[in-house]
Amino acid sequence: MLAFSSCVKIYSPKIEGADLNKYVVSGQITLGEDTQTVNVSLTSSINKPTYIPLLGCTVHILDNKDNTFPLVDMGNGDYSTMIDPKYMVPGKAFKVVVIVPDGDSIVSDYDTLSVVPPVDSIYYLRKDIVSPVPYQSKVGIQFYLDFKGANSDSRYYKWNVYETWEYHAEYPLEYYYDGTVHHIFPPDYSKFTCWDTRKIPEVFTLSTENLSQNVYNNIPLQYVDNKTPKLANGYSMLVEQLALSKEAYDYWDQLRINSTQQGGLYEKQPIVIKGNLRDITHPDKEVLGFFGAASASFKRIFISQVPGLTLNYVIPCTTIVLKRGYIMIPPSAYPAALMASQNGPLPIWLSQICVNCLLQGGTNVKPSFWPN
């Protein structure tokens, strides 16, 4: 009895061959953005999920006034174009047509541009998240958004959130060793300050359809804890507020629900999400994704310091004390950075990440929107 009750059997779903390589089309017309992009890819194995871009497609966007806008293959599955804003007014509808290299034609339903209100305000509050699990509690800040729309504006919303933060290397490059000790004076600060920008992966949606007014406050966005260096030297958040059609909202809200499921034993089954694309060459083939039309408004917030928040993050810089001298540095590590002092180099070998902020994934080109 005990042996049978404790047995756990791995479940491997049987996936038919036709389901292994479905087409995935995603993108939207966005009033407020300069470039319009559609992405075309293939699904991958559930055991080895990976992104498979589909190259060599012919992609067009069409509106309901018989205007056609061809897209250019930018590589990596992205197809882009610029559309004159005079063609993009609320009330107009757009669809996408994709002809894949195998000859199949994929077409979306028309989706209509709605009116978007401006973002009213973005702000944060100090918030600690207590967990019953040891070492799982969080200390940080929670971002929120308020908006106030007219009753004639859209009632369906999605928010894309982009964060940018400034970070520093631990030291400028002043001394290095490549068989000989070299001194750089003045010290090289060109790779001391960097910036990184990333899109928050969470899906944020809201409908005011059942509210008497098209107004909502305290919409929670992302949480940033104190175990990251993001808040150390300056942090910026850009919010893109999108006004959607009801069909587009339903699609993205279902994605949000699926993405927030925790996968516990008693969780609900994931929702089967139906997009608005179909393969008209082979109607029996399912196409994943959604092509929509949205109007966008933007707002940015900057943070330099958070009162009452002590940061507690791990510094990636590592050091090695050269107890036996420079002979401890292998030629494969040349040029090796050395820690500097007022009296010259110290016998301490710095990892490259200590003096090169680019190795943390960002750029040393200051963003045009960054404050002085």
Class of residue 278 by CB neighbours under 10 A (exposed 0-12, middle 13-18, buried 19+): middle
Q: Which residue in 97, 111, 103 sits closest to 68, CA to CA?
A: 97
Q: Is 335 helix (H, G, I), strand (E, B) or coil?
A: coil
Query: Per residue in 186-207, pLDDT tens?
Result: 999 999 999 999 999 999 999 9
Give dist(CA 52, CA 101) in Å, integer.
14
What is the pLDDT confidence band of residue 258, given thresholds at 50, 70 and 90?
confident
36 to each of 69, 144, 275, 337, how far by Cα in Å?
A: 10, 28, 19, 45
CATH no. for residue 251?
2.60.40.10
144 to each of 126, 128, 315, 332, how far by Cα in Å?
A: 11, 15, 29, 49
In a domain, 226, yes or no: no
Percentage of the chain exceeding pLDDT 70: 92
pLDDT value of position 366: 96
pLDDT value of position 143: 97
Average pLDDT over residues 168-175: 97
Which residues, 6 or more positions from 30, have their beta carbon under 8 angstroms from its beta carbon? 36, 242, 293, 294, 295, 296
What is the pLDDT confidence band of residue 259, given thresholds at 50, 70 and 90?
confident
Q: Is the pLDDT of residue 271 over 70?
A: no
Domain that holds residue 104: 16-114+244-295
Q: Is the pLDDT of residue 137 over 90?
A: no
In a domain, 56, yes or no: yes
User: What is the total residue count of the chain?
Assistant: 372
Average pLDDT over residues 16-41: 86
In a domain, 290, yes or no: yes
Helices (H), the chain: 2-5, 246-260
Pairing type for strands 138-148 and 156-168 reads unpaired
pLDDT value of position 14: 54
Query: How many Cβ atoms are within 10 Å of 143's Cβ, its own excluded?
Result: 22
User: Could you tell me which residue, 76 or 260, shows the higher pLDDT?
Assistant: 76
How many domains is the chain partitioned into structurally? 1
pTM here? Answer: 0.86
Query: How many Cβ atoms are within 10 Å of 262's Cβ, its own excluded?
Result: 5
Q: Which residue in 287, 250, 242, 199 sits closest to 28, CA to CA?
A: 242
**Is there a contact between 189 and 174 (Cβ–Cβ < 8 Å)?**
no
In a domain, 82, yes or no: yes
Which residues, 6 or more positions from 53, have their beta carbon under 8 angstroms from its beta carbon? 39, 40, 41, 75, 76, 77, 78
Average pLDDT over residues 341-368: 96
| Residue 349 DSSP code | E
13-22, 39-48, 85-94: which range is least confident on average?
13-22
HSE-up of 349 (CA within 13 Å, CB side)? 18
Query: Per residue in 215-248, pLDDT tens?
Result: 999 999 999 999 999 999 999 999 999 999 999 9
In a domain, 22, yes or no: yes
Q: Is the pLDDT of residue 169 over 80?
A: yes
Q: Is 8 helix (H, G, I), strand (E, B) or coil?
A: coil
> Which two tokens mark 320?
């090695």
In a domain, 280, yes or no: yes
Pairing type for strands 105-108 and 181-188 reads unpaired
Average pLDDT over residues 108-136: 91
In a domain, 168, yes or no: no
Helices (H), 184-311: 246-260
> Which two tokens mark 268?
């609900």
Q: Is the pLDDT of residue 9 over 90?
A: no
What is the pLDDT confidence band of residue 266, given thresholds at 50, 70 and 90?
very low
In a domain, 263, yes or no: yes
Q: Is 199 helix (H, G, I), strand (E, B) or coil?
A: strand
Which residues, 6 or more positions from 345, have their beta carbon under 8 angstroms from its beta carbon? 174, 175, 177, 181, 183, 338, 339
CA dihedral of 130, 136, 142, 147, whole degrees rounded to 10: -90
**Is there a contact between 228 and 198 (Cβ–Cβ < 8 Å)?**
no
Tokens 């933007």 sit on residue = 298
pLDDT value of position 10: 53
What is the pLDDT confidence band of residue 265, given thresholds at 50, 70 and 90?
very low
